[in-house]
A and B are shown apart, each in its own frame.
Chain A
Amino acid sequence: MDSQELASIASRVRRHIIRAIHQAGSGHPGGSLSCADILVALYFSAMRIRPDEPDWEDRDRLVLSKGHACPALYAVLAERGFFPVEELDSLRKLGSMLQGHPDMKRTPGVEASTGSLGQGLSQAVGMALALKLDRRPARVYVLLGDGELQEGQVWEAAMAAAHYRLDNLTAIVDFNGLQIDGRIEHVMSPLPLVDKWQAFNWAVHQCDGHNMDALIGALSWVGKVTGAPSVIIARTVKGRGVSFMENVADWHGKAPDAEKTKVALSELGGAGVGR
């Protein structure tokens, strides 16, 4: 699939995100939009998966450590064929398979129950260790928020991943510079990112997290890293694709009303509020 096709899937994914969060009346658009391109590049290009066999033992796995961005993951999984796109309408509703934060027991394709920040990398390390033990070729990806890096457990896990030389593990940092209360460096700076990961003995690569060619390049780079885990620091824009949401911390965790939804969808190249 070429980067133009990937980009058009990403636009559809962004429209799903806006629609689903609007219908739910709550959710996290900012961080979902910022990681949409990353997830599309993973699920439509890099990852070896079988949507009709979600438990295939040799599948690549993604742990969405920043679980609040699940509207993006759900949209990508639906587009990839794990479940019907219509399911997206049930986001956050009683009895839905699409919970407000990922529940691996309910949703095909979701590899970890997350939502409590700081815990995804540990789980990914566990998966990567087990896969290595069984000599399986699969890779484990984990998507982290940049604010999330303030959690101490992330660095416990980073230490363990390098200690066990997990070259089948790739972390991706959604480096959008924002968290709930504002800019990351104002709230509690996790910078400099490259030096930190390098100091923890990870192989580091930086890229534009909205450029499909750059993302695909980064995701093929990880395959060349041996003897160490790899991290991609993806520079992103929180709320990417919707002008009034871009770089606005306030759009971290609130749903757009009908009016704003219409504007957002038209900016994203969609016709109406319907699918």
Chain B
Amino acid sequence: MAGKATREAYGDALVELGAVYEELVVLDADLSKSTMTAKFQKAYPERFFNIGIAEQNLMGIAAGMAAAGKIPFASTFAIFATGRAWEQVRNTIAYPAHNVKIAASHAGITVGPDGASHQALEDIALMRVIPGMTVLVPADAWETRQVVEAAIKHKGPVYIRLGRPAVPDIYDETYRFRIGEASLLCDGDDVAIVAAGYMVHVALSARDILAREGVSARVINMCSVKPLDSSVLLRAALECKAVVTAEEHSIIGGLGSAVAEFLAERCPVPVRRVGVRDLFGQSGEPGELLQAYGLTPEDIVEEALEAIRAR
């Protein structure tokens, strides 16, 4: 399995883009070796700030630096960035529309052995509900690199969801990402699988299984969870008439919810959500957890067939 973790690609992107964007500063809360911001610290020690184990302060300081013209990236684990410091993000970063990028690693069930306390399964929901917050969930290293630069160029708060384990490469250096635009990975007209993050390559495996069964599945990478790519979604619903979402996040409030909300209003078709079904995670290896929580290619296939039957 070639490819690297999105968090590692994030650290690399910071180092690369730190040379281009002088206003870029990076803040961490004693997790720089895990979030990979340590790479940036090594390259630009004067522009790196360890805030210690104080996530609320992390967000406030990032806001203040943005107010004084910097482009701060604030990193910690997703559960602490979005959970511990939610109100700081809401009131002190998003309400004044500060140019802060919250890049949080260790999101989702694939955190693995650290268990439920460290597996953020609610972070997309928590960030998506905040007015003006952009929510991006890159699927591989190449997309992460693109997402980091898109976030720098976008004026306003952005949440970037990063994972712990290595993920296979889906794209290459020619890939270009734009906020609000989905990427169509393969065409098909029986069912559309809309996935984000780690689950994108799982969706591609599901598509292969479906193809063997004579079902043609469209696979859409909805990295831009907010704003959603409504035209790609609408076309998928009109042409495939059945939609499955896939994410390593709670089925409540995440990508699945966003897609279901949109389609319920604009083009009601059967929708099935693959995700964690209103549960906390637990310790285990990522592969075991994906299996235990219904996040495998087979789970997507099952829901896809369900959605097709329901239309």
In this complex, the member of A131, A157, A159, A163 whose beta carbon has the largest number of chain B beta carbons within 10 angstroms is: A157
Report A224 CB to chain B, min CB distance, Å: 24
Report B88 CB to chain A, min CB distance, Å: 6
Q: B61–A157 contact, CB under 8 A?
A: yes
Q: A133–B25 contact, CB under 8 A?
A: yes
Q: B64–A156 contact, CB under 8 A?
A: no
**Is B62 an interface residue when CB atoms closer than 8 A count as contact?**
yes
Cα–Cα distance between A57 and B56 once the two chains are bound (Å): 27
**Is B291 an interface residue when CB atoms closer than 8 A count as contact?**
no
In this complex, the member of A63, A103, A129, A159 whose beta carbon has the largest number of chain B beta carbons within 10 angstroms is: A129
Say whether, besides A105-B97, A113-B91, A113-B96, A153 and B68 are in contact (CB < 8 Å): no
Partner of A105, one of B56, B69, B96: B96
**Is B223 an interface residue when CB atoms closer than 8 A count as contact?**
no
Report A142 CB to chain B, min CB distance, Å: 10
Cα–Cα distance between A134 and B60 once the two chains are bound (Å): 19
Q: A residues within 8 A CB of B56?
A: 118-119, 122, 152-153, 156
- State which residues 39-58 of B face A: CB under 8 Å: 46-47, 49, 51-52, 54, 56-57
- State which residues 82-108 of A face B: CB under 8 Å: 103-105
Q: B residues within 8 A CB of A159?
A: 52, 54
**Is A123 an interface residue when CB atoms closer than 8 A count as contact?**
yes
**Is B267 an interface residue when CB atoms closer than 8 A count as contact?**
no
**Is B135 an interface residue when CB atoms closer than 8 A count as contact?**
no
**Is A268 an interface residue when CB atoms closer than 8 A count as contact?**
no
- State which residues 75-100 of B face A: CB under 8 Å: 87-88, 91-92, 95-97
Q: How many residues of chain A have a CB within 8 Å of chain B?
A: 33
Extra A-B contacts (5), CB below 8 Å, given A113-B92, A156-B54, A163-B52:
A119-B60, A122-B88, A123-B60, A130-B68, A130-B70
Say whether, besides A119-B92, A123-B67, A134-B69, A129 and B49 are in contact (CB < 8 Å): yes
Q: A160–B67 contact, CB under 8 A?
A: no
* Binding site secondary structure of chain B: helix
Partner of A104, one of B49, B65, B68, B96: B96
Report A62 CB to chain B, min CB distance, Å: 12
Q: A130–B57 contact, CB under 8 A?
A: no
In this complex, the member of B54, B66, B68, B95 whose beta carbon has the largest number of chain A beta carbons within 10 angstroms is: B68
Cα–Cα distance between A133 and B63 once the two chains are bound (Å): 15
5 cross-chain pairs, A with B, having the tightest CB-CB distances, nearest first: A126-B64, A122-B60, A130-B68, A156-B57, A156-B54
Q: How large is the interface on B (under 10, 10 to 19, 20 to 34, 35 or more residues)?
A: 20 to 34
Q: A residues within 8 A CB of B66?
A: 126
Cα–Cα distance between A157 and B56 once the two chains are bound (Å): 9
Cα–Cα distance between A248 and B287 once the two chains are bound (Å): 62
Closest to A129 in B: B65
Q: B87–A129 contact, CB under 8 A?
A: no
Cα–Cα distance between A24 and B115 once the two chains are bound (Å): 51
Say whether, besides A112-B96, A116-B87, A160-B52, A125 and B61 are in contact (CB < 8 Å): yes
Cα–Cα distance between A110 and B67 once the two chains are bound (Å): 11
In this complex, the member of A123, A130, A152 whose beta carbon has the largest number of chain B beta carbons within 10 angstroms is: A123
**Is B26 an interface residue when CB atoms closer than 8 A count as contact?**
no
Q: B residues within 8 A CB of A115?
A: 91
Partner of A160, one of B57, B72, B97: B57
Partner of B60, one of A104, A111, A125: A125
Cα–Cα distance between A157 and B85 once the two chains are bound (Å): 14
Q: A116–B49 contact, CB under 8 A?
A: no
**Is A127 an interface residue when CB atoms closer than 8 A count as contact?**
yes
Say whether, besides A115-B91, A116-B92, A160-B57, A123 and B52 are in contact (CB < 8 Å): no
**Is A64 an interface residue when CB atoms closer than 8 A count as contact?**
no
**Is B59 an interface residue when CB atoms closer than 8 A count as contact?**
yes
Closest to A130 in B: B68
Q: B95–A113 contact, CB under 8 A?
A: yes
Closest to A110 in B: B96
Q: A133–B70 contact, CB under 8 A?
A: yes
Closest to A151 in B: B56
